[in-house]
Structure 1
């Protein structure tokens, strides 16, 4: 199938590289492939993704409506007539829907409010003690559901979701069910809001019309209860798990009508059915973001978390953040099907770590101790009402908590910095081997234990506040962490994973020991999405190095189905200078490997480079360091007076200096930096690769005329966690090589190479993210200095994005040449 519009309905005249991007993406979707798309920030990547994907979607729908849907098979006249009648009926339904949505848009333009009577509020503001008692729990039967919050839905919830589905058409098939959909994901709701703003720019002809009439793009943003709950008495709860469980608790059979959530529609009310249908229509009548959907729910006094599902069958585009796609339980709770969809993941350079983060969990010793304290307090209060299985399972949870606490206390006494351990080393003691973690997880989920224990703690806080003298009420006390039992539930889930997929670690933070489960195999949790979807697109500004994707996420894919593309920048090559720096002005070499980076001579030489470049580089300059600790070491030495004045004083005389730290407020820091540049003096920002300023921050134009990247930010290769990850990577490569018929020595050599490649790729992806902060649009320009001898090697330069590799100056370059190139680059480039 060829695109119906050679410019893919782009709202502007697209650049050549944008056209190439859209052509390749359209082809990738049509062929049902997995595509890795690298396109630098500032090249209109989001619009290109939207235009190509939606053009394909409408073309595919037109093909299914009017094309050769029968594959060339000649049908008899009766079957042909039936097919035409069905198509006509479907087109009539689509037109009726479009007319209805246009009426809603016209009403919204006139600012007319929806006229639906509000329900009378029912839920008491106070927590009631009798609501906190656990129901009898007598079932040991396994359930075909996950136990992570939304996965196990009550029968009343399932009935509600069934009722919220839109009415079927006369032929028994929902008119939207035949539609292929696009699921668009990014890391955060704020990034998705930017996508929604771009989506509003697009106009597309209707697939159901030959006249070129436009048809609105039908889009719905989806979120969790945390994002969409409009019941203030539920939304204010301390943790996501507590919100989920309280919501489900209010829907249970037997809960009196006076204590059900006022925003959930009644199953028997025709008026509520009308409101649900109206909500779905209003949700897709215009392109809206998650805040708009929540506001619509508030205006209609209707739960947007559940009611938004009524719009899904009619939508073309769903937007949701990473975790809601990556967790099967979350998708099922939202009613999202990935089968035969087109999945687009933006900012996908984070995908592997996002999968690992979503399914990894850490919990400090103090949280284990607090969870035990909360559970014991609850048991003491309700001990006479805990019977049967409740008593048995709570006793098992207490036993497992105590086992974890004992192991962590031992590590704290032994002053262990870091160690890895197996699950059976963590959970040990009399009777522990008889505990079945999957049954405990099901019990915690089904009994709503977390909500009831946390709510009992909130009740105690309310009572304590009510007894305080009026003058002290509302005064703050030290806040205890919330959601500790939910953390423990996640740890129990990790215990159920195969040992080959992840590993437990005990390490120490600034104050105490922490138990952490780290997922090592992200592929196992993404493969089912790839296999079910029609096509999967991973897009980002810095997807290089590309080799990681086939090694870590797609080893099972046929080579011809995995496509990788790296597109150039829209800027002229003359607008970017990339200079590796192996030596400084005095000839001191730059070798920032861990064992040498504390060299005072090298650090002062670095200061000399920054000072001399500050004389030539106009406006803003950013220096990225490999870690916060190293940045602190460098600045402490620069502040040492070595002559008439310190290095830091000399630099500050040229540019006002700002420094990133873990504690600093980013908005305040950037505001001061921007104001200093605006004043005409210029500014220098000292930042950290992988820190707050290295990703998602725009240093365009005067904010980033030069970027220096000091050293290579390799992870701590001595940490137990890093060693486990590298060993996993090496094992995967070894097994693949073995299957390929290589000898034992060749397999081992290939595995070692894979370990080194992985370390290089992780490091350079972080570097690429940092140095990509400066070039943000076609007219932008910046100089990039890579300060370390290793940047002069072909191995490292090969891992730069293609558009930057083209501009790398040959090295090693003498300082006089570096200085002259810098002056020449900025000469005449004032904006």
Structure 2
């Protein structure tokens, strides 16, 4: 795969030199099939130039198929353009208004099907080339097989037969993917069949039109059922889990025709499925557009999208659909020999851990026991064979887990701690249960769904108020937790957390490497990209430790802004003289930078955003500012700050909405009064919010937000890192012990500084932006901490030998903004 001639990356604008450096490095990474970690602040790169990489070098044997598809897509584009010019919306197909009846008429509907022997299930799984333990049940696979073979497992490899390299672009949310799609629409690529291939000219001519010159990017947006479902009754459930389960309910074998979802693809509506494919590929569309096409054609876009993957050059999808193996299998999605790009990748390791972590409360365990017992009594004469055995095992297991949690709640004085696997299995006969077989039974039998339907039926029958349909059935929580118990013990740990008078049991994945390894080893190249990826050592140590030397590369690029548009300062001490040392132990001291913050707010115009280590500390500081009087002025600290800036603050989840605070903050700045927004590192305003231009002329980082390393969770994380480094080390026991302790320290520092760097990245959002970054704590003076800042911040960091007085720091800030004011007149 050759690099474009003369660095022609098909960028929609003339790229900056830093952008060209980024693209050259990335092309080299892709060509050599490597894993690359790219740090490039906002404004430095536009992902669309990557599309040149996906151009096809079609051979003669593929031309006919390509020609047919391009002709269909050209017709659809022409039809849509004609409709747009006429100003008349395309007539939508009338959607069937089949009401899905959630109220079963007969209790027999809740009976379990006869469960086949465990060996039969294993044979079926082996025959299909997958394992039900991975999260994909045999019934789901059968359902996918039924759709005309479009989604069967054996077709996974065939996706790559007719296509060149595809790009799978993954990000956190649908809104971020939509931003990428909008950029994708601005790109115009040359056709994949160049005109000079005269032998193919007659294949690309349709009348007087040269289709090759109008070839569009073939893009597909993949999403969850919640994002793509067009069945109004199912969609009204609101909760993603409830929607998933109801969708599967409507596809069960033997269900009455009038209760089935009318929009499912099948062999009977293959023509509509092809129509969906063509309309989807005719233009670059976001997830909402994909759902609209499904509505117009009367076919489920969630399932119909699977038939489009093999024809797509670019596939965008949210994290869970890529990072979960069961989700990839359900989508029939293979990344084999393709390119995987993960945007906003700074939180990738945490995201993988969160996807595979699960928790359950004591209350949920007790409720599920009650429901299971009621169900077992009702159907005791009809439960036979394996069903009777496994339901008895489940009741015993849940009883054992609940009893141990009750013991921890009553007899353990600590609010949190680790839980031993053996203690959960200490109940009578529980240690004899085969959890692998039990987990397979839970997935195959659909016991949780049967019990939930039965309980809801009983509630309605008694005249009581039904539960909120958006509520996740309690047995699903319990089932998810039981499934987590089969994970290798070395990868995760169990914890208890006491809260709100109750207790919660949590399984936390500590090692995300194995769950990402399959993607890395299958893909041609993997790119992790983000504005602030520093510090990067964690990725090599904890996510890619298995890679051979030379396959992993890291890149950190500067900003497109000129150097004079950014000033970064460390402030180790305040105006009154004492050093700033916002350690956890010292945070409650009197010295909280009160006069220094007030002075900074006088110097920096318009909007200033200050980030604190925690909500508790923010509240403490704000309370002290309201009460402490500044001797010289006779004003409280808060009143002194508000002489130049209105003070607003972020609240914890469950109180004021962040959108409301941001709107008020923006209004104050637009009115000319200026504002100081107090926020929290890792809070709702620390990621994904753009404080561009006057919204963020200054960013203050107050202290270093180190995690609470005394907590049970962080103790487990650190011990896991230290143990692994020690076991893999060489040399004496003492040298390995020192290396392991250093690795634990490095891991904690990197977590802290990754959060700091995200906050810093909220300002400076485009080439002409400018801002000041002030890091208030003496520890920011150390080379060890400064080395974990992004390259673009280090390049603008004022030299400080530790002896600079605060007055000089403030004077440099004043000079910076005076110069910007003159330059922007």
More displaced stretch, 15-24 vs 400-409 = 400-409
- Give yes or no for contact 1:245–1:448 (8 Å, CA) kept in 2: no
3-state SS, counterpart of residue 514 of structure 1: strand
- Give yes or no for contact 1:149–1:241 (8 Å, CA) kept in 2: no
The number of residues matched between the two structures is 782
**Which residue of 105, 108, 115 corresponds with 1:137?**
115
Match of 1:95 in 2: 67
3-state SS, counterpart of residue 23 of structure 2: helix
> Is 2:297 the counterpart of 1:308?
no
Distance of 1:736 and 1:586 partners within structure 2? 50
3-state SS, counterpart of residue 38 of structure 2: strand
**Which residue of 387, 395, 419 corresponds with 2:417?**
419
1:207-226 equivalences under 5 Å are 207-210=192-195, 213-226=213-226
TM-score in terms of structure 1 length: 0.90
1:155-170 equivalences under 5 Å are 156-164=142-150
Match of 1:455 in 2: 453
User: Compared with structure 1, are the counterparts of its residues 96 and 479 closer, same or farther at alpha carbon in structure 2 (3 Å cutoff)?
Assistant: closer
1:428-439 equivalences under 5 Å are 428-439=426-437
Distance of 2:399 and 2:270 partners within structure 1? 50
Distance of 2:543 and 2:571 partners within structure 1? 34
Match of 1:34 in 2: 35
Distance of 1:721 and 1:353 partners within structure 2? 13
> Is 2:90 the counterpart of 1:113?
yes
> Is 2:765 the counterpart of 1:789?
no
Distance of 2:276 and 2:43 partners within structure 1? 36
Q: CA deviation at 1:232?
A: 2.9
More displaced stretch, 790-799 vs 382-391 = 382-391
**Which residue of 514, 527, 533 corresponds with 2:504?**
514
Question: Which deviations, in whole Å up to 9, do the C-alpha atoms of 1:410-445 show, x marking residues without a partner?
Answer: 111123311112211222211101211222222221
- Give yes or no for contact 1:203–1:214 (8 Å, CA) kept in 2: no
- Give yes or no for contact 1:164–1:307 (8 Å, CA) kept in 2: no
Q: CA deviation at 1:732?
A: 2.5
- Give yes or no for contact 2:93–2:295 (8 Å, CA) kept in 1: no
Distance of 2:702 and 2:288 partners within structure 1? 41
3-state SS, counterpart of residue 420 of structure 1: strand
- Give yes or no for contact 2:168–2:340 (8 Å, CA) kept in 1: yes
Distance of 1:317 and 1:25 partners within structure 2? 17
3-state SS, counterpart of residue 639 of structure 1: helix
Q: CA deviation at 1:651?
A: 1.4
Distance of 2:235 and 2:68 partners within structure 1? 37
Question: Which deviations, in whole Å up to 9, do the C-alpha atoms of 1:582-603 show, x marking residues without a partner?
Answer: 1100101101111111112x12
3-state SS, counterpart of residue 685 of structure 1: strand
Distance of 1:224 and 1:5 partners within structure 2? 41
> Is 2:477 the counterpart of 1:491?
no
> Is 2:12 the counterpart of 1:11?
yes
Question: Which deviations, in whole Å up to 9, do the C-alpha atoms of 1:628-671 show, x marking residues without a partner?
Answer: 11111111111114363321122123211111111220000000
Distance of 2:289 and 2:443 partners within structure 1? 31
Q: CA deviation at 1:756?
A: 1.1
Distance of 2:265 and 2:811 partners within structure 1? 72
RMSD over equivalenced CA pairs, Å: 2.5
Match of 2:322 in 1: 325
3-state SS, counterpart of residue 571 of structure 1: coil
Q: CA deviation at 1:391?
A: 2.4
Question: Which deviations, in whole Å up to 9, do the C-alpha atoms of 1:388-423 show, x marking residues without a partner?
Answer: 322222222121211111111111112331111221
Distance of 2:259 and 2:67 partners within structure 1? 42
3-state SS, counterpart of residue 163 of structure 1: coil
User: Compared with structure 1, are the counterparts of its residues 93 and 819 closer, same or farther at alpha carbon in structure 2 (3 Å cutoff)?
Assistant: same
TM-score in terms of structure 2 length: 0.90
Match of 1:21 in 2: 22
Distance of 2:379 and 2:467 partners within structure 1? 27
- Give yes or no for contact 2:237–2:469 (8 Å, CA) kept in 1: no
Match of 1:554 in 2: 544
3-state SS, counterpart of residue 715 of structure 1: coil
Stretches of structure 1 that go unaligned for 5 or more consecutive residues are 66-86, 469-475
Q: CA deviation at 1:234?
A: 3.1
Stretches of structure 2 that go unaligned for 5 or more consecutive residues are 84-88, 197-211
1:466-485 equivalences under 5 Å are 482-485=472-475
- Give yes or no for contact 1:660–1:687 (8 Å, CA) kept in 2: yes
Question: Which deviations, in whole Å up to 9, do the C-alpha atoms of 1:45-91 show, x marking residues without a partner?
Answer: 3x2x331x221221xx32xx4xxxxxxxxxxxxxxxxxxxxx32411
Match of 2:205 in 1: none
User: Compared with structure 1, are the counterparts of its residues 730 and 155 closer, same or farther at alpha carbon in structure 2 (3 Å cutoff)?
Assistant: closer
Match of 1:194 in 2: 179
Match of 1:658 in 2: 648
Match of 2:594 in 1: 607
Match of 1:77 in 2: none
Match of 1:689 in 2: 681
User: Compared with structure 1, are the counterparts of its residues 575 and 231 closer, same or farther at alpha carbon in structure 2 (3 Å cutoff)?
Assistant: same
User: Compared with structure 1, are the counterparts of its residues 123 and 561 closer, same or farther at alpha carbon in structure 2 (3 Å cutoff)?
Assistant: same
Q: CA deviation at 1:378?
A: 3.3
Distance of 2:94 and 2:641 partners within structure 1? 66
3-state SS, counterpart of residue 774 of structure 2: strand
Q: CA deviation at 1:690?
A: 0.4
Distance of 2:137 and 2:795 partners within structure 1? 49
Question: Which deviations, in whole Å up to 9, do the C-alpha atoms of 1:217-270 show, x marking residues without a partner?
Answer: 111111222322222333344754444344334333333333322111343x2x
Match of 2:618 in 1: 631
Match of 2:199 in 1: none
Distance of 1:39 and 1:464 partners within structure 2? 61
Q: CA deviation at 1:714?
A: 0.6
Q: CA deviation at 1:114?
A: 6.5
Distance of 1:688 and 1:732 partners within structure 2? 32
1:707-722 equivalences under 5 Å are 707-722=699-714
3-state SS, counterpart of residue 234 of structure 1: helix
Distance of 2:100 and 2:608 partners within structure 1? 56
Distance of 2:100 and 2:508 partners within structure 1? 41
> Is 2:233 the counterpart of 1:233?
yes
**Which residue of 331, 334, 349 corresponds with 2:331?**
334
> Is 2:745 the counterpart of 1:756?
yes
1:368-447 equivalences under 5 Å are 368-414=365-411, 415-447=413-445
- Give yes or no for contact 1:149–1:244 (8 Å, CA) kept in 2: no
Q: CA deviation at 1:627?
A: 0.5
Distance of 1:691 and 1:502 partners within structure 2? 26
> Is 2:252 the counterpart of 1:252?
yes
- Give yes or no for contact 1:154–1:252 (8 Å, CA) kept in 2: no
Distance of 2:469 and 2:90 partners within structure 1? 41
